[in-house]
Amino acid sequence: MAGEERGTPRWLDLLWLLFLGSLALLPPLKEPHKQLILLLFGTFQFAEGAFIRFVAARGFRSPAGETVSVVIKLVLANQLMIHTSDVGINSSYYPIFYLPVMTAAMYFGPVGTLLWTLVASGAYCWFLIPVFLGEFTLAAGGRAELLLRVTFFFLVGMIVNRFVMDYRRQTQQYQVLAENLSEANRSLEKAQEEARRAERLAALGQLSAGLAHEIRNPLGVIKGSAELLNQKLSAADAMAKELAGYIYTEVNRVSSLVSRFLDFARPSNLDLRPQPLVPVIEKALRYLIEQGHASNVKVVRDFASDLPPVMLDEDLCEQVFTNLLLNACQSMGDGGGTLRLSAYAAATEEGNEIIAEVEDSGPGVPAEMREQIFNPFVTTRKSGVGLGLAIVAKIIDGHGGTIRVVTGRGTGACFRLSFPVAGLAADLRG
């Protein structure tokens, strides 16, 4: 407990000053040394906290400042005894030694309080040296009085120290309680934010589903009409055939967008089975390589061995990694770059997880967009729709995992996915 600041309230310091001021009005009144010592006592008592902070600011380790404070008060108490009696041991101002004893009790633990009280008792008994030199004698009643005074030094020191220790324990408990409440408030705010996000996504999903169904029917009519028109037109009418081809192409593009709307809005029916995660990542990577999307990309694998299985819907997880890998390749452009894939186990408060990371060497994701990038219609690409990562986040949520953008090794984007291990995932899903 040494080194802790008392945190004495100012009103208590003022009470000490009032006490010392009353001593100054008591005899001997014409003793200037007494008044000076009491003034020094009051000044130091009032500035004690600032003095300890000053010592600590000079690089001295605790409890250097507290130790010096007790020593200063012992020296001043000793001088007051000398200047208030011809024989110091007879001075009526002996209770002044309570000040250094109580100060030690406030700054140090029980053992430290006992040691400093012993030092204070020794400083008080120092005035008995003339007895050993034969200058005066100490009667039996005087020895009993001396023993009584020293006993009270220890009694006051231990009582004050007990109250101080109880106060410190209560303060620590209040601090822990305040930290727990703050953490609970942060968790509650996060949960409320997630709930609001889920409500927005649910409403958007319902709107998307209804809108997509309404659009899909006329799209089928337009697409069939464009195909029929293209077949009926003669080769001589090149302009009309070209326009019919534009209609057919754009209808296909809109139809693909509608399908993605439906993928986002459709409730997730997961077929979860315990299986390793790395083969799913490799399968998605092979698909991209076969499609020519990773021709100029250097792939670096960093997969830990003997990873436990996780509960996966293989098709949906393959879609997740295909989307992330495709985004990574597209962000690096035609010049290519480095695609780093990693998977490893990690322990969290909820249990063991498997972490997968997809990191590219592209321009990265701006910090202000890292929280919003998984929301629908948020994208960093000019030609992007902003549904791919929203669908990815929805699938990962369905697996009981998380996905977020973290700081990688370079300037590119790093998507970190977490999946609970098979046993934990099954427990979470009931």
Question: pLDDT tens across 4-53, in order?
Answer: 444 455 666 677 778 777 877 878 777 788 889 888 888 888 888 888 88
Residues 328-340: what's their mean pLDDT? 86
pLDDT tier for residue 310 given thresholds of 50, 70 and 90 = very high
pLDDT, averaged across the chain:
82
Residues 184-192: what's their mean pLDDT? 88
Domain spans, the chain:
10-138, 194-265, 273-428
Q: What percent of the chain has pLDDT over 90?
A: 25
DSSP string for 69-106: HHHHHHHHHHHHHHHT-SSGGG-TTGGGGHHHHHHHHH
Question: pLDDT tens across 150-181, in order?
Answer: 999 999 999 999 998 998 899 899 999 999 99
Counting Cβ atoms within 10 Å, is residue 118 exposed (0-12), middle (13-18) or buried (19+)? middle
Alpha-carbon distance of 422 to 309, in angstroms, equals 6
Looking at residue 406, its pLDDT comes to 87
Helix (H, G, I), strand (E, B) or coil at 404: strand
Q: Say which residue, 169 or 205, is predicted with more confidence.
A: 169
CA 152 to chain centre: 48
Residues 398-405: what's their mean pLDDT? 87
Looking at residue 426, its pLDDT comes to 47
Alpha-carbon distance of 413 to 363, in angstroms, equals 7
Looking at residue 260, its pLDDT comes to 66
CA angle at 322 for the pair 318 and 327, rounded to the nearest 5°:
155
Looking at residue 410, its pLDDT comes to 75
Which H or E element spans position 381?
A: none
- Starting at the edge strand found earlier in the chain, the sheet holding 337-347 runs 297-303, 337-347, 352-359, 413-420, 402-407
pLDDT tier for residue 245 given thresholds of 50, 70 and 90 = confident
Q: Which amino acid makes up residue 397?
A: D
List residues bridging with 355 in a β-sheet.
344, 418
Class of the CATH domain delimited by 273-428? alpha beta
Domain 194-265 falls in which CATH fold? Answer: Helix Hairpins (1.10.287)
Q: Say which residue, 253 or 247, is predicted with more confidence.
A: 247
Looking at residue 292, its pLDDT comes to 82
Looking at residue 192, its pLDDT comes to 87
Residues 289-316: what's their mean pLDDT? 88
In degrees and rounded to multiples of 5, residue 20 shows phi and psi of -70, -35
Q: Which amino acid makes up residue 273?
A: R
Question: pLDDT tens across 84-126, in order?
Answer: 877 667 788 888 899 899 999 989 999 999 999 999 999 888 8
Question: pLDDT tens across 219-242, in order?
Answer: 777 878 877 877 777 665 777 777
Question: pLDDT tens across 249-294, in order?
Answer: 888 777 777 776 666 666 567 788 899 999 999 999 998 888 887 7
Alpha-carbon distance of 266 to 248, in angstroms, equals 26
Q: Name which of 343, 319, 202 is nearest 270 in CA terms.
A: 319
User: 0.75 cut: is pTM over it?
Assistant: no
Instruction: Evaluate if residue 212 carries a pLDDT over 80.
Output: no
Looking at residue 342, its pLDDT comes to 93
Alpha-carbon distance of 13 to 410, in angstroms, equals 57
Alpha-carbon distance of 111 to 105, in angstroms, equals 10
Q: Which amino acid makes up residue 389?
A: L
Looking at residue 3, its pLDDT comes to 44
Alpha-carbon distance of 72 to 40, in angstroms, equals 10
The DSSP symbol for 405 reads E
- Residues near 307 by beta carbon (within 8 Å), at least 6 away in sequence: 276, 277, 278, 343, 344, 345, 354
Looking at residue 2, its pLDDT comes to 47
Q: Which amino acid makes up residue 166?
A: D
